Amino acid sequence: MPPVRTPERKLMKPKQSSAFSCAVAAAFALVAVFAITGTARAADQAEKVGATTCVGCHAEYGSFSKSIHGKAWPSRQKIAFEQSCETCHGAGSLHANSGGDKSNPDFATIKKPTALTVADQSAICLSCHKKEKELMAWGTGAHKQNGVSCLKCHSMHKGEGKAQLAKSETETCLNCHKNKRADLQLASHHPILEGKMGCTGCHNPHGGVEANLKADSLEETCFKCHADKAGPYAFEHPPVGESCANCHKPHGSQNAYLLKQAQPFLCMRCHKWPHVERSNGVNATSITNLEQRSRCTDCHHEIHGSDRHAAFKN
Amino acid sequence: MKLLIALAVMLSGAFLPAPAAAEEAASYNLGDETTVGVRYVSSRNRGNRGRLQQYDGRQYDFAEADLGLSLWGEGGLFDFGAQGINSSEESAYFDLSKGEHVRLHGSFETLTHRQAFVDSGIRLDEQYRKNPVIGHYRDGGGATGDAGADDGSDLFFKRHESEVRTLIDLTTEVPSWISAEYWREDEKGTTSGRYPATNPGTGAQQADLDRLTQEVALAAGVSGEEAGALYEHVYREYDDYSIVRTTSAIRTNSSSYVVRPRGATHKMNSDEVKFRYGAPDSAMAYTGQVGRRTRLNTDTGYRLDDYVGSLAASYNPSAHLALLAKFYARGVQIREVTSWRSILGTQGNVSQIDKNTVRAELQGRYSLHMAQLKAGYKFEMNHRRDAPTEVFTKAAVYADGNTWGAYSQNNQVETEDIKHIANLGASVELPLGIEVEAGVKRYQANRPAYESMPVYQDNANGGLMVPLPGGFSLMSSVDYTHEKNNKSNLTFSNATYNNYMAALNWASKMFDIGINAARQRTRAYSAGYWGTANNYSGSNNVVNMQHDPGLAYLSKDDTIGAQVNARLPKGLTVNGGGSYTKSKGAIPVSFTAPFRTTGVTGAVDTTGNVTDLQPTDTQISRGNVRVEYAATKDVSLVAGYSVARWTDRLDSAQRGHVNILETGLTAKF
């Protein structure tokens, strides 16, 4: 027997005093059980009526045929426009016959995906989108585990673009990940504000092996576009291979090249030894060098690795 | 772009049946989505374009057009769009479907990436000083000038990203498919080339940039309701065709220094198997992948082998409970080419590190009435082999009495480290719709892999969302992190990061207005060991060097922003926004020795000792408004204005501002 699913917590009422709330909760539960079982039985009895009937009341959805789903379904899924509404919302005859009367139990027999659990929403979407490589890890992905459903980001009726996002891609992500907005405004940033790159340039919101990244590690994610940093080099700078985030703040920084801290401080956190013995142990910053050059990378400019010079100067 | 359009047109003819017969034509919806847009952009700018207009492809005077065309029906789908035709940032895409079995997608996009000149001067105290030794930016013609807005430098490259992919459903009993993808990214233009100099010479020069990355991916998969799997092979090649310039005026080790962005050219092959098991609405779900990757440096023959495996299982018996277990393992090995090393001669020690990583993670979420609890634990173990040894053969005596003997260690990279990361969080939905959330995270390592990494890190964060009457809502969050490394070989390091954010929004049927503010503070401390050439003389130990046990990096970032979206009557839409960002940063220092700002052989700076290294003081303002008017159902007019200003209080060469006016018309057919 499949587990009984209950509505999301958003639908719950504020807590009352304990005895009273217990009684009210029991009453609500009883009503809910009857309502759910009754609804399920009624929904099973509904028949399909076709999109023309739906649009008769919901005229605002008449343009669905021009959406990406409306265009792709006829050929890819053999779902004609007439069948489109009930593909996701279920058979609608009882709902249609209720005439918009919300007090009529039949009115609620139509399936409303936004009110479903994450798993049930996913089941609707994944019934078609099961071939996408990007969705392979959805079942164990961070968004699903945290109760973020498909319709939290995508809007079938009001979404724009191929991804049918309710807002722009960046705004969709920043809606929850608010603390990243300020980073994107800093002096050094990826071209996200400029609209030339989205969060999905690096992240796979449908689940990834490592922090929802598209590749299986941070550095491999970066290397796809920054291929010149990938190596392998004859002289590796070890932190590069471990994680680009050792030195860079990918969402934005006040320092050039997205550096976490300004040079020479950033370099000196590891390279503490004096920079005065030139042939051996050249390992830190000297005043002499600061007097001549402003940053470590002015000389060690191949800092991501070099095939020619052990100190990354060429 | 043109190639993509030609390909789309050619394939659309082959894919879709010609609507010659009246009944066949009637089965297609043609032209309903054909759009044509024209736009004129007028731009005025002053100052440094490399900073403010880093991505400025559409910020100059031009007339551009958009085009969209859709054709769809039961037999197939053809969807084509092109944006910014005749601009510096053209983009286009097409989608084709042939029945339910064949899909084809292509896209093309251009990005103009303006490059900042090399800021070769020194920022000391509250001012920018010309570099006394390496001079300033030198353009390709050899003329030396001051680095700045008026030096004539105009460095930028264009990046073209193209992709074609197809997916074919196989008509078998098992729902299976095969796919092929080709992706390429080419970058051409100019950038800043840098190389070290000895005596007075050029340290920065315009460099050619011409590089290409191509990728071919072939995949096959099965996609059932409950289970799915795919195998994918990816071949990627990175080539660098930049014109190489060398200079003989610069000291060399093995050859002349190369004036171009180097990077190693490489070929990569990867094989990956991914799988999933568990119906979307079932309580249990399993996903995983196994893969190997080899990357061959085509310049030297060095090869990286990378093996990754992961397995995850989730248990969601109801909307109230979610449990997740993940396991991740990775092994990286770099194979050296001894013949290449012999060409180079003795230049230092081996620096390839082979590394194995194992990670296990448990996460849980439980919803109870109006509260939600989260907890997690992550374990990570890294084992490294062949960590290079680094030696410092001389003892050091510091002016403050701090002494260090002759020194040898494995390049400050630990052979083995173990990390434990635990997190706990809760969110509560209170009456009146108020939501409160809070969380803590603890990171603990037995030892840091690198000196800059912490031994422990504590994080606390909280958030508040308050819906207010009249459609207002208030949101705020705070995030505090403190980290410390008290097991360093040489000294301690620690850092605190404070982030605060608040936003107020007002939404109504017609308006969506919001303002937001953020404040970020970083205080990081480490040790500074300073020396000069005078501290070292040949074979002697170094003496009287400076030791600053609390060298700091301090940074402040403050951002405020606002946005307005208005859907007014009679087809009028107004969107606008603005932001102001102020950033300050510095490395306060206190040298006891004089600091020469006129070069190593120059006179001692008479203005006093330096107190700040590399200070930054930047203010960036951006604003835009865009008005769109739907004159008819199918025709809309647009006008927009945006302004941006970059102010660097320490270096006038970095300053600039730009004003952009845009007008356009879009028609649907």
Cβ contacts of B72 on chain A, cutoff 8 Å: 71-72, 74-75
Q: Is the pLDDT of residue B200 over 70?
A: no
Q: Are B73 and B29 in contact (CB under 8 A)?
A: yes
pTM: 0.85
Rounded to 5°, the CA angle B622-B625-B631 comes to 160
Predicted confidence at residue B36, as pLDDT, reads 77
Give the residue on A whose Cα is nearest the Cα of B307: A216
Q: Are B601 and B557 in contact (CB under 8 A)?
A: no
Predicted confidence at residue A168, as pLDDT, reads 85
| DSSP helix/strand/coil, A172 | helix
Predicted confidence at residue A9, as pLDDT, reads 32
Q: Are A203 and A176 in contact (CB under 8 A)?
A: no
Residue B254 has its nearest CB partner, among A127, A186, A308, at A308
As a whole number of angstroms, the distance between CA B298 and CA B85 comes to 37
Type and span of the H or E element at B188: strand B176-194
First-to-last alpha carbon distance for chain A, in angstroms, is 67
Range of B193-202, B352-361, B388-397, B537-546 with top mean pLDDT: B352-361
Cα–Cα distances in angstroms (integers) from residue B143 to residues B204, B261, B490, B493, in the given order: 12, 21, 45, 44
What mean pLDDT comes out for the span B494-522?
93
Cβ contacts of A201 on chain B, cutoff 8 Å: none
Classify burial at B346, counting beta carbons within 10 Å of its beta carbon; exposed 0-12, middle 13-18, buried 19 or more: exposed
Predicted confidence at residue B182, as pLDDT, reads 96
Confidence of residue B656 (pLDDT cuts 50, 70, 90): confident
Confidence of residue B374 (pLDDT cuts 50, 70, 90): very high
Give the residue on B whose Cα is nearest the Cα of A68: B79
Q: Hey, is the C-beta of A160 within 8 angstroms of any chain B C-beta? A: no
Q: What is the DSSP letter of B591?
A: -
As a whole number of angstroms, the distance between CA A270 and CA B527 comes to 10
User: In whole numbers, what is the pLDDT of chain B averaged over residues?
Assistant: 80
As a whole number of angstroms, the distance between CA A311 and CA B30 comes to 63
Predicted confidence at residue B312, as pLDDT, reads 95
Residue A291 has its nearest CB partner, among B493, B583, B595, at B595
Q: Which residues of A193-223 are buried (b: 16+ CB within 10 A; e: fewer)?
A: bbebbbbbebbbbbbbbbebbbbbbbbbbbb
Predicted confidence at residue B204, as pLDDT, reads 63
What mean pLDDT comes out for the span B557-584?
93
| DSSP helix/strand/coil, B347 | coil
Q: Hey, is the C-beta of A205 within 8 angstroms of any chain B C-beta? A: no
| Amino acid at residue number A232 | P
Where is pLDDT greater, at B516 or B21?
Answer: B516
Pick from B52, B72, B306 the residue to mutate for testing the A interface (most A CBs within 10 Å). Answer: B72
Instruction: Give A 13-72 residues with CB within 8 A of chain B.
Output: 14-15, 65-66, 71-72
Predicted confidence at residue A34, as pLDDT, reads 43
Q: What is the DSSP letter of B17?
A: P
Residue A179 has its nearest CB partner, among B255, B450, B501, at B501
Where is pLDDT greater, at B298 or A4?
Answer: B298
Cβ contacts of A277 on chain B, cutoff 8 Å: 392-394, 536, 542
Residue B334 has its nearest CB partner, among A66, A194, A232, at A232
Predicted confidence at residue A31, as pLDDT, reads 44
Show me where the domains of chain B are located. Answer: 115-282
Q: Report the gap between the CA of B200 and the closest CA in chain A (Å).
A: 10
Q: Which residues of B231-268 are buried (b: 16+ CB within 10 A; e: fewer)?
A: ebebebbbbbebeebeeeebeeeeebbbbbbbbbbbeb
Chain A with chain B: Cβ pairs closer than 8 A = 467
Q: Hey, is the C-beta of A184 within 8 angstroms of any chain B C-beta? A: no
Predicted confidence at residue A8, as pLDDT, reads 36
Give the residue on A whose Cα is nearest the Cα of B328: A209
- The full DSSP string for A201-269 is GTB-TT--SSTTBSSSSHHHHHHHH-GGG----SEE-HHHHH-GGGTB-TT-BSSGGGBSS-TTHHHHT
Predicted confidence at residue B388, as pLDDT, reads 61
What mean pLDDT comes out for the span B270-291?
91
Pick from B205, B215, B316 the residue to mutate for testing the A interface (most A CBs within 10 Å). Answer: B316
Q: Is the pLDDT of residue B189 over 50?
A: yes
B469 beta partners? none
Cβ contacts of B299 on chain A, cutoff 8 Å: 307
Cβ contacts of A241 on chain B, cutoff 8 Å: 332, 353, 355
As a whole number of angstroms, the distance between CA B159 and CA B665 comes to 28
Cβ contacts of B352 on chain A, cutoff 8 Å: 232, 236
Q: Do A233 and B302 touch (CB under 8 A)?
A: yes
As a whole number of angstroms, the distance between CA A127 and CA A138 comes to 13
SS (H, E, C) B128-152: EECCCCCCCCECCCCCECCCCCCCC
Cβ contacts of A265 on chain B, cutoff 8 Å: 524, 526, 551-553, 587, 613-614
Give residue-wise pLDDT tens across range B98-109.
877 888 999 999
Q: Do A182 and B591 touch (CB under 8 A)?
A: no
Classify burial at A4, counting beta carbons within 10 Å of its beta carbon; exposed 0-12, middle 13-18, buried 19 or more: exposed
As a whole number of angstroms, the distance between CA B86 and CA B62 comes to 8
Please tell me the number of Cα atoms within 13 Å of B349 on its side-chain side.
Answer: 16
Q: CB-based contacts of B539: which residues, under 8 Å, 6+ apart?
A: none
Where is pLDDT greater, at A167 or B598?
Answer: A167
Q: What is the DSSP letter of B390?
A: E
Range of A260-274, B188-202, B474-488 with top mean pLDDT: B474-488
Where is pLDDT greater, at A194 or B57?
Answer: A194
A111 beta partners? none
Pick from B52, B274, B352, B589 the residue to mutate for testing the A interface (most A CBs within 10 Å). Answer: B352
Q: Which residues of chain A have pLDDT under 50?
A: 1-22, 24-25, 28-41, 277-284
Q: Is the pLDDT of residue B193 over 60?
A: yes
Pairing of strands B246-247, B612-630: unpaired
Percent of chain B with pLDDT over 70: 73
Q: CB-based contacts of B537: which residues, under 8 Å, 6+ apart?
A: none
SS (H, E, C) B229-291: EEEEEEEEEEEECCCCCEECCCCCCCCCEECCCCCCCEEEEEEEEEEEECCCCCCEEEEEEEE
Residue B573: which of B625, B628, B514, B632 has the closest Cα? B628
Q: Do A133 and B230 touch (CB under 8 A)?
A: yes
As a whole number of angstroms, the distance between CA B577 and CA B561 comes to 7
Cβ contacts of B349 on chain A, cutoff 8 Å: 310
Q: Are A213 and B76 in contact (CB under 8 A)?
A: no
Q: Are B347 and A309 in contact (CB under 8 A)?
A: yes
Q: Which two tokens stand for residue B87?
A: 């601009």
Give the residue on A whose Cα is nearest the Cα of B187: A225
Cβ contacts of A18 on chain B, cutoff 8 Å: none
Q: Is the pLDDT of residue B540 over 80?
A: no
Number of C-beta neighbours around residue B506 at 10 A: 15
Predicted confidence at residue B601, as pLDDT, reads 44
Q: Is the pLDDT of residue B531 over 80?
A: no
Instruction: Give A 249-268 residues with CB within 8 A of chain B.
Output: 254-256, 261-266, 268
As a whole number of angstroms, the distance between CA B494 and CA B322 comes to 36
Q: Hey, is the C-beta of A310 within 8 angstroms of any chain B C-beta? A: yes
Predicted confidence at residue B375, as pLDDT, reads 96
Instruction: Give A 95-134 residues with CB within 8 A of chain B.
Output: 117-120, 122-123, 126-127, 130-131, 133
As a whole number of angstroms, the distance between CA B66 and CA B163 comes to 20
What mean pLDDT comes out for the span B236-259?
62
Give residue-wise pLDDT tens across range B115-170.
876 666 677 777 776 655 444 444 333 444 444 333 446 778 899 999 999 999 88
Q: Are A154 and A173 in contact (CB under 8 A)?
A: no
First-to-last alpha carbon distance for chain B, in angstroms, is 24
Number of C-beta neighbours around residue B18 at 10 A: 8
Residue B340 has its nearest CB partner, among A185, A225, A234, at A234
Q: Are B524 and B498 in contact (CB under 8 A)?
A: no
